[in-house]
Amino acid sequence: MLYRQTPHQLLMIRPGGFAFNAQTVASNSFQKTADPDAPGRALSEFDRVIEKLDQHDVAVRVFEDTVGTPDALFLNNWFSTHASGEVVLYPMLAANRRVERRSDLVAWLEANYRVSRVVDFSGYEQQGSFLEGTGSLVLDHVNQIAYANRSPRTSPELVEAWCRHLNFTSCLFSALDAHHQPIYHTNVVMWIGERVAVVCLDAIPEHDQEQVISTLGARHRLVSISFEQMAAFAGNVLEITSRKGDRYFLMSETALQSLVPGQVNELTKHADLLTVNIPTIEQVGGGGIRCMVAGNHLPARV
């Protein structure tokens, strides 16, 4: 089977109840502030993202928020799709995030794409084990490698179980922020494109760095970012393609402004930069543009 790193379609949820989530802040240092005006601002930011994706002819399917929870727009945490035809459902740490799992969205995928099976890991919540989708897992789809940093939201044993089910190889490591606390999700530490990978090596302890560098570097041009750049969501990026095949690195304005010219030059060798301005979502929600997107890798119905 031929695997692509980039999804053929983006899936997104328009936020209906966006707010500061008190149930997630203990494990997410990227959440900065509560803001009474956040719901309206987040909606405006989201709509501008969709407008920009449309302008660049990127296939995107927007679902309305039916649950009204603070983090519903971060849909990549509760499900993932795969070229093998599998849809995977994930166990979430915060109780108010568990209600984000939507059977109607899964049914839409089954009706419109070839879904071979739905793998449901959500029952592990009752055992206190968690794995939050492509927040916890940064996937090299082409080489079938799953990168994951250990955290309260990413249980190593579930990473290994996931890899057995999906026929991936794991690359497990620790990642700590500047205050030596575990970083909540792998997809703020690193991202992988088709030919380039970006990672905050400063966050990874020395005993784990060699494994990450050798595994990533064997297949991709490696670009390292600092703690400050990671805090600006420079590690929270997704490579996407337009319907015409144009390649883009989807990132926030915050992330772009944190990069130095040499890093920008290296990235633009591989794809154009498609930037969006989402400061409210980043500061109040503690997630960036990558967190807002679930990639659709499912095969089309013939």
Residue 196 three-state SS:
strand
Band of pLDDT at residue 178, cut at 50, 70 and 90: confident
C-alpha–C-alpha distance, residues 208 and 159, integer Å: 16
Confidence at residue 251, expressed as pLDDT on a 0 to 100 scale: 98
What does the pLDDT read at residue 23? 53
Residue 244 inside a domain? The answer is yes
CATH number, domain of 243, equals 3.75.10.10
Contacts of 84 (CB under 8 A, 6+ apart): 1, 116, 166, 167
What is the rounded average pLDDT of the residues 227-244? 97
Q: What's the whole-number mean pLDDT along residues 88-110?
A: 96
pLDDT at residue 287, rounded to an integer: 83
What per-residue confidence (pLDDT) applies to 244?
97
Q: Number of folded domains in the chain?
A: 1
Is residue 302 in a domain? no
3 inside domain: no
Read off the pLDDT of residues 211-225 as tens digits, 9 standing for 90 and up: 999 999 999 999 999
Residue 2 lies in a domain: no
228-249 average pLDDT score: 98
Which residue bears the tokens 């009752």? 126
What average pLDDT does range 88-99 have in this prediction? 94
Q: Output b/e per residue, 51-88; b: 16+ Cβ within 10 A.
A: eebeebebbeeebebeeebbbbbbbbbbbbbbbbebbb
CA-to-CA distance for 45 and 278, rounded, in angstroms? 5
Q: Can you give the residue range of the structural domain that contains 172? A: 9-296
Strand order in the sheet with 169-174: 138-140, 145-150, 169-174
Give the integer Cα–Cα distance in Å for 262 and 298: 36
Q: How do residues 27-58 score in pLDDT, each as one tens digit?
A: 455 545 656 677 788 899 999 999 999 999 99
Which pLDDT belongs to residue 284? 86
**Residue 127 CA to its chain's centroid (Å):** 24
* 258 occurs within a structural domain: yes
Helix or strand run (H / E) with residue 267: helix 261-267
Q: Which pLDDT does position 20 carry in this prediction?
A: 55
Segment 255-273 mean pLDDT: 98
4 belongs to a structural domain:
no
pLDDT for residue 98 is more than 70: yes
- The better pLDDT of the pair 22, 127 is held by 127
Q: What is the pTM of this model?
A: 0.94
Q: 301 lies in a domain?
A: no
Nearest residue to 121 (alpha-carbon basis) of 74, 85, 149, 154: 154
What pLDDT score does 31 carry?
A: 44
Specify the DSSP class assigned to residue 57. Answer: T
DSSP structure class, residue 298: P
Residue 132 has pLDDT above 80, yes or no: yes
Q: Name the E strands within 220-268.
A: 221-224, 238-241, 247-252
What percent of the chain stands above pLDDT 70?
A: 93
Contact between 199 and 225 under an 8 Å Cβ cutoff? The reply is: yes
Average per-residue pLDDT in the chain? Answer: 93
> Residue 122 pLDDT > 60, yes or no?
yes
pLDDT bin (cut points 50, 70, 90) of residue 19 is: low
DSSP 218: T
Is 110 inside any structural domain? yes
